[in-house]
Amino acid sequence: MLKTRIFKRYLRWAYKKGAEDLVKLNFKPGFKKEDFTCLLCGVGSEQTANEFIRFVTNRNPRAKIWIIDLGEKQVTAVKKLVKERLAKFDVNIRRVNALELNKLLPEASLDWIETDGFLEYFDRQSLKRLLTIWHGLLNADGFITTRDFVSSSRITITTDAFRIWLAKRWLGVSLFRHTKKELVSLFKSSGFNFVVGPTPLPTYKRFTLVKRS
Ligand SMILES: C[S@@+](CC[C@H](N)C(=O)[O-])C[C@H]1O[C@@H](n2cnc3c(N)ncnc32)[C@H](O)[C@@H]1O
């Protein structure tokens, strides 16, 4: 799925929508500033890395880009892509657990954290820790864009339970179900202002967060 043309189009749409959400938050992202630094957290595939790097470098060719993932395959594929096609940009790729990002990156060193379908890899407690780490890594004008599944009605709880079972059964991946109410409460208590928006998938929501000062 992550390698299809539709997903590529979806990502372009999502990045554009994230920028529009920032306007709703009265926030002007500093893409063009000299030391603009961003992180793609849990890259998933080289196609996503490619879209992200192009989105950022079209706005600022000198931006510093970090890309991380826990998966060896993902990291190897992205390193190959960058070495072969995007070597002129400042891209740093690491295999690291997002819950240990504070060992890799200094406090207040990031302007933007982007990720997609990532929050559901964390149970409630780890998600709280992840948001605390992200909050610490973002500078005062830092922001986050992401999209994720939320369970709300009895129907979505059932379809999510099935999706989570499938992920475990076929991919061996443990995912965790979160409600919109739960995520909203976590964002608030972790020090963010945010907006929530739709995506083309009814149970998949868009979240854009700005660090509260
Ligand atoms: C759904 S995929 C991400 C999709 C990607 N953001 C995109 O837009 O194509 C989730 C990725 O997160 C990675 N991941 C899961 N838990 C992680 C963790 N604790 N630290 C870093 N990466 C993690 C997985 O290996 C997987 O590649």
Mean pLDDT of the chain: 94
CA–CA distances in Å: residue 162 to residues 30, 36, 86: 41, 40, 39
Cα gap 130→75, rounded to integer Å = 20
Which pLDDT band holds residue 212 (cuts at 50, 70, 90)?
Answer: confident
Mean pLDDT of 18-33: 95
143: number of Cβ within 10 Å:
27
Q: How confident is the model at residue 40 (pLDDT cuts 50, 70, 90)?
A: very high
pLDDT of residue 1: 65
Q: Which residues have C-beta within 8 Å of that of residue 202, sequence separation ≥ 6?
A: none
pLDDT at 44 over 80: yes
pLDDT in tens, 164-179: 888 888 888 889 999 9
Per-residue pLDDT tens over the stretch 87-115? 999 999 999 999 999 999 999 999 999 99
| pTM listed for this prediction | 0.94
- Looking at residue 210, its pLDDT comes to 98
Residue 128 has pLDDT above 70, yes or no: yes
User: Which atom, in ligand 1's list, is nearest to the CA of 74?
Assistant: 27
- Predicted confidence band at 204 (pLDDT cuts at 50, 70, 90)? very high
Could you tell me the CATH number of the domain that includes residue 24?
3.40.50.150
Counting residues of the chain whose pLDDT is more than 90, the rounded percentage is 82
Residue 27 has pLDDT above 80, yes or no: yes
Domain that holds residue 199: 5-211
Q: Which residues line ligand 1 (CB under 6 A)?
A: 2, 42-45, 48, 68-71, 74, 97-99, 115-118, 121
Listed range (2-6, 15-19, 43-47, 177-181) with the worst mean pLDDT: 2-6
The domain tally of the chain equals: 1
Confidence of residue 2 (pLDDT cuts 50, 70, 90): low
Measured in Å, residue 97 CA sits from the centre of ligand 1 at 10
Ligand 1 atom closest to Cα of residue 44: 27
200 DSSP assignment: S
Distance 43 CA to ligand 1 centre (A): 6
Name the residue of 70, 73, 94, 128 whose CB sits within 8 Å of the most ligand 1 atoms, as the mutation to test its pocket. 70
